[in-house]
Amino acid sequence: MVKNYPGSKQVFDAIVVGSGATGGWAAKELTEAGLRVALVEAGRMLYPEKDFTEHVIPYQIRYRGYSPLVAKTRPIQVRCYACMEYNYDWFVNDFDSPYVQVEGKPVNWFRVRILGGRSLVWGRQSYRLSDLDFKAASHDGYGEDWPITYEELAPFYDKAERFIGVSGAKEGVPQLPDGQFQPPMPMTCGEILLRKAVKERFGRTVTIGRSANLTAPLNGRAPCHYCGPCERGCITHSYYNSPTTTIATAQATGRLTLMTDSVVSQVTMDMDTNKATGIRYVDRLTRETKELRGKVVVLCAQSLESARILLNSANRQYPNGLANSSGVLGHYLMDHATGFGASGTMPMLETRPWAGPPHRPNGIYVIRFRNVTTPDKNFIRGYGYQGGSAPGYDYEAEGFGKEFKERVKQGAWRISLGGFGECLARWDNYCELDKNVVDAWGVPALKIVAAYGENERKMGHDIAVSAAEMLETAGAKDIQMSHHINPFGHAIHEVGVARMGSDPKKSVLNKYCQSHDVKNLFVMDGSSFVSSGCQNPTLTMMAILCHGCNYLAEQARRGLI
């Protein structure tokens, strides 16, 4: 992986801002289409041989993985399951990169600034949306339909799955379309019992998670060897992250210029032509402000960060933010509602130290069953579950020597289901600039105002009760329900702040993620989502991007942008 910097007068065919799951794909798609692309990343360069620590054992690091230094500089980031002593420097320093919250509406914004971004630490769960999601408004009358159909997007889902490698099982359930899967990972004994009981009693489908972890070789990448801590990297390239897959492919074309340590603050414009001319950025290390020129600008910085760049790019033609003649930019922020669910034990299963399965980097998934064919009277939309069942042991047991070892061995076979509920798109969930607060590079911070509503809370109650019912049906005991709701942003599925639509007065982008207002400006991350569905959004982001890049490349070839 080699970074390089262009001359000040060089004009690229396209500038891609952000190097994560979508930015890597944009670099790949556009360079393969023949465009000369600059990929701009705010964080530092990634060196897998040094930065990936999945095989490092706790005793090999200073604080055994629980460094107090992490919370001192990253009090918000450390709330993320993936931020720890092994990799905390991938995450932003919260004091260098502040954002503003309002009282009573807590928001967790987890940010990674290093080549690859959050694709290095994501949960890898990869699910398609269906027309139950794309046309949700037509089903229940709330909000807006997407301007795209599942049929249009299906070939691009295929493309994304085949390239990144998604393991999973085909189930034939319409609301969660099957994909191009590698062989599924096996379920544990407890999960098999749950699957059988839930199907027989309720007619619901429990399947193995559809995960971007390889179970068979792919393009020189080795299958997963079940070492476990994927959030610390993968030296065998067995799960999808952008530096070792999409970005590497883009670099192989010879048409990619890779720029790290470049904090983008604005999109620059030519007012006479109403076209973007490139970007303005601040060198992360020297704090020097520079500009980069391009014929097309593609924002893949992550939903909130892309909105921040556009809001900070306001000018006399677009005083409320670039490409924001509709006034919609920053609004309709969504994130899945989490925290609801249930857990218990499976006493019928043997719990011995040798009974545990390998450290499978995946769980199970319960496919949405609410508001599919029959409307629920209490809430609209739906939810899915993620969870698992495996033996657990008390490594915090007291004692020493033989006594300690015996207590640790007295484990229990556990089972749990946690819900991911759809968050409705609401105007009053939004972000805006707070110019009284700036980051370490002088860029105004975001103020994020968002909270879950009554629909998510009613849904959450049903998530907990239904989870407990399914666990009980499978023979679980000591069942505990969770009615707690996590702060907004905790699912790390933020989408929707520059929604796509057919009407420029009600949306920011068209169905190709192209700005209605500025034709050579594209926003190709989760910003474009019209509704959130209940499925993890990253695979859909990739498919939408491939669809948009196909259009962008054709428009560029014809000289139309």
For 76-135, give the secondary structure using H, E and C: CHHHCCCCCCCCHHHECCCCCCCCECECCECECCCCECECCHHHHCCCCECCCCCHHHHC
Q: pTM to 2 decimals?
A: 0.96
> Residue 135's closest CA among 78, 184, 164, 174?
174
Tell me the three state secondary structure of residue 181. strand
> Residue 460's closest CA among 451, 452, 470, 449?
452
Amino acid at 30: L
pLDDT digits (tens, 9 = 90+) for 374-413: 998 899 999 999 999 999 888 788 888 998 888 888 889 9
What does DSSP assign to residue 423?
P
Q: Tell me what pLDDT residue 362 has.
A: 97
Question: Which neighbouring-strand residues pair with 449?
Answer: 430
Kindly state the greatest CA–CA separation across the chain.
80
What does DSSP assign to residue 214?
-
Where is 557: in which H helix or E strand?
helix 538-557
Q: Tell me what pLDDT residue 254 has.
A: 98
Distance separating alpha carbons of residues 329 and 317, to the nearest angstrom? 15
Amino acid at 7: G
Q: Tell me what pLDDT residue 1 has.
A: 62
Tell me the three state secondary structure of residue 119. helix
Amino acid at 501: G
Question: Which neighbouring-strand residues pair with 297?
Answer: 15, 521
Return phi, psi of residue 526, to 5°: -70, -5
> Residue 535's closest CA among 176, 205, 211?
176
Locate tokens 């399947």: which residue? 207
Q: Tell me what pLDDT residue 68 has.
A: 81
Token duo for residue 468: 């407990």
Instruction: Indicate the pairing of strand 166-167 with strand 364-366.
Output: unpaired
Token duo for residue 481: 């329900």
Token duo for residue 514: 């192209």
Q: Print pLDDT tens along the chain (561 aa).
A: 656 667 668 999 999 999 999 999 999 999 999 999 999 999 999 999 999 999 999 899 988 887 788 999 999 999 999 999 999 999 999 999 999 999 999 999 999 999 999 999 999 999 999 999 999 999 999 999 999 999 999 999 999 999 999 999 999 999 999 999 999 999 999 999 999 999 999 999 999 999 999 999 999 999 999 999 999 999 999 999 999 999 999 999 999 999 999 999 999 999 999 999 999 999 999 999 999 999 999 999 999 999 999 999 999 999 999 999 999 999 999 999 999 999 999 999 988 777 666 789 999 999 999 999 999 889 999 999 999 999 988 878 888 899 888 888 888 999 999 999 999 999 999 999 999 999 999 999 999 999 999 999 999 999 999 999 999 999 999 999 999 999 999 999 999 999 999 999 999 999 999 999 999 999 999 999 999 999 999 999 999 999 999 999 999 999 998
Number of other residues whose CB lies within 10 A of the CB of residue 183: 12
What does DSSP assign to residue 69?
H
What does DSSP assign to residue 244?
T
> Residue 69's closest CA among 57, 87, 81?
87
Length of the chain: 561
